[in-house]
Structure 1
């Protein structure tokens, strides 16, 4: 997938705001001419998660071809189509897809959003269609009707938590429980009666709490997930540290951010492998090459497990008599991440990975990550429309 333009990102964000969970495809000139497109890993994962089709269960050859009712979305009309999903006998059975009528709907390298709804695949050309103008029209059009049919929500526990946060905000500046980056979250959890634990489950009756100091502009942590050591060249955080770490004071550490866009100062870079369905970390120096992998399905499950519903809580940090205090001021409430967007945002460098590994003076290796983080203003690319509440 090529890098999206600013306009395409804006239109993708609009779909996300309208709760439209989509996968993206980019037809090439060859694909349009030959009526054949690669079914990329994000698209395959999306179709599987939506219970539309599982390529892993499909046999090779024309007799195993699956067809799915589809619709091409135009500004003022729709065109019935048919998606053909298959694995050819040649080329190791690489998954393929084609939409009837696509050659007259898209130009080479247009970006198309595929939306599965009620077992029908809808195709939206986000390169050509002015989505903002279509949704602003006073008269109904196919895009408006489709997106209106996709929305839903419910909110009992969220209201309970909001009431509790209102009471905490009314207390004014609250002394931090400890001096650490994690103090803003630990202090709030203590006020809510949530004990310290190492569980990967959400914090408050199914709602994940993510507290942060406001105005820092830092990326927001989505979740922590170690690599699949059994399928990796390296088998521990200590090996990663030994290969790429550096001395800082008494600690030997590796604190760095890694993305899919460019190698970082340690020469580390991420890439998505569609065939293997993996996220791979690669070293461009020292002849190391690929050294750890994550199964994308595992990352998707962690995202859904952690962020089915999340309160992103901003706090003002201030010093009073030399001690840090917090005023909990604002909440952004998100629901049900759009899993197919996770791979897209990884590929676009919007979601990155942080290593936080160190060996202390006693020789003990500590790993606080790897942490998957998202750029501070990109939550609306991963989640349907959020709600923002201000307390003070």
Structure 2
């Protein structure tokens, strides 16, 4: 009956057909997926061709969660039944898929998207291209701090402008007691929005407000006219780097405004960020810290203490770099 739970026979048929499709694609063949769905529906009339298509996407999700390669054009749908995972793993035990490293799987998926052409990016905001890419890869939108794709963080870039690495509050406050005190001491009036704000971006050279970064082997100090406002312990910076950027793919794109979309140009895969290199880049003026504080009513709104790196210095931060595309 349509709408009821899938039987083991139906699930097994879907998994068998999916694995045959994957094998055919790896051999350079181009099976017509709609024909496969129609054939399955004829054999199992309680299921429509569309339901088999969705089941195939569920199978992609199982394989994705097992860090295994999956069919192109069938982005993962993660709301699958437990039975499906058991059947997939059982069939893989008898007919295993050759394992690939996560970055090799990512290379396959991004190459497929690149060859497919423009990717729609009609959401608002500065992160719209990253969100559109995640959607194209079947990555569910969430607020998780974990890396995006099989342990790999994804970053889209249009140019060599500053790239945000992470947001981190200071390890210690000194002259400024906390972020509220920092705001009270240094906020300025924003005439355009009729509010007080503290938005600035600075490196080792004083900005127009007098903020700059200074380093030792163990910490980074946020300075204002020779006075230490707050500081970051090197181990806290290293923790932030490793939590998100142990493995990162930087996807360089060309964006279009009409219609809102982008195409993939190249992909750089970077591994193992170095805190020693990070500190060196701070001393060289290649790393920036952004304050993003504003007043909303009686509260101070904080969009994060953002650490950013110059686009042409990204490779230098990592011990290993590889061109995926």
TM-score normalised over the length of structure 1: 0.53
* Cα displacement string for residues 30-70 of structure 1 (whole angstroms, at most 9, x for unaligned residues): xxxxxxxxxxxxxxxxxxxxxxxxxxxxxxxxxxxxxxxxx
**1:368, CA displacement in angstroms?**
2.4
- Give yes or no for contact 1:177–1:186 (8 Å, CA) kept in 2: no
Tell me, in whole angstroms, the C-alpha distance in 2 between the residues paired with 1:256 and 1:301.
24
Aligned position for 1:228: 171
Deviation by residue 1:286-329 (Cα, 9 ceiling, x = unmatched): xxx22211111110111122111110011111122xx4211122
User: What CA deviation, in whole Å up to 9, does each residue of 1:107-127 have, x standing for no partner?
Assistant: xxxxxxxxxxxxxxxxxxxxx
Give the direction of change, closer, same or farther, for the CA distance of 1:359–1:171 in structure 2 (3 Å limit): farther
What CA distance in whole angstroms lies between the structure 2 residues aligned with 1:173 and 1:366?
36
**1:259 corresponding residue in structure 2:** 203
State whether residues 304 and 339 of structure 1, in contact with CA within 8 Å, keep that contact through their aligned partners in structure 2.
no
Residues 1:188 and 2:133 aligned together? yes
RMSD between superposed Cα atoms in Å? 2.3
Q: Which residue of 2 aligns with 1:176?
A: 121
More RCO (CA 8 Å, sep 6+): 1
Q: Deviations over 1:172-192 (max 9, x none)?
A: 222214121111111111222
Measure how far apart 1:155 and its partner are.
6.7
CA shift, 1:201, in A, is 2.2
* Rg (Cα) greater in structure: 2
Report deviation, 1:264: 0.6
The alignment partner of 2:273 has SS state of coil
Aligned pairs (5 A) from 1:161-310: 161-213=106-158, 215=159, 217-229=160-172, 231-246=173-188, 247-250=190-193, 251-260=195-204, 262-274=205-217, 277-284=218-225, 289-310=227-248
Equivalent position SS for 1:312: strand
CA drift at 1:369:
2.4
> Which whole-Å deviations, capped at 9, do the CAs of 1:234-283 have from their partners, x for residues lacking one?
344333333223314224322211212x2110111111244xx3211121
Instruction: Find the counterpart in structure 1 of residue 105 from structure 2.
Output: 160
- In structure 1, the residue matched to 2:255 is 317
Query: Scaled by the length of structure 2, what TM-score is found?
Result: 0.63
Distance in 1 between the 2:276 and 2:294 partners?
33
Q: How does 1:33-72 map to 2 (within 5 A)?
A: none
Residue 333 of structure 1 is matched in structure 2 by 269
Name the one with the larger helix percent.
Answer: 2
Cα distance in 1 for partners of 2:295, 2:168 equals 20
Rounded Cα–Cα distance in structure 2 between residues aligned with 1:244 and 1:318: 38
Question: Number of residues paired by the alignment?
Answer: 225
Q: Residues 163 and 293 of structure 1: is their aligned pair in 2 closer, same or farther, counting only changes over 3 Å? A: same
Contact 2:180/2:300 (8 A) holds in 1: yes
Q: Which runs of 5+ in 1 are unaligned?
A: 1-153
Structure (1/2) with the larger strand percentage: 1
Any idea what SS the aligned residue of 1:384 has? strand
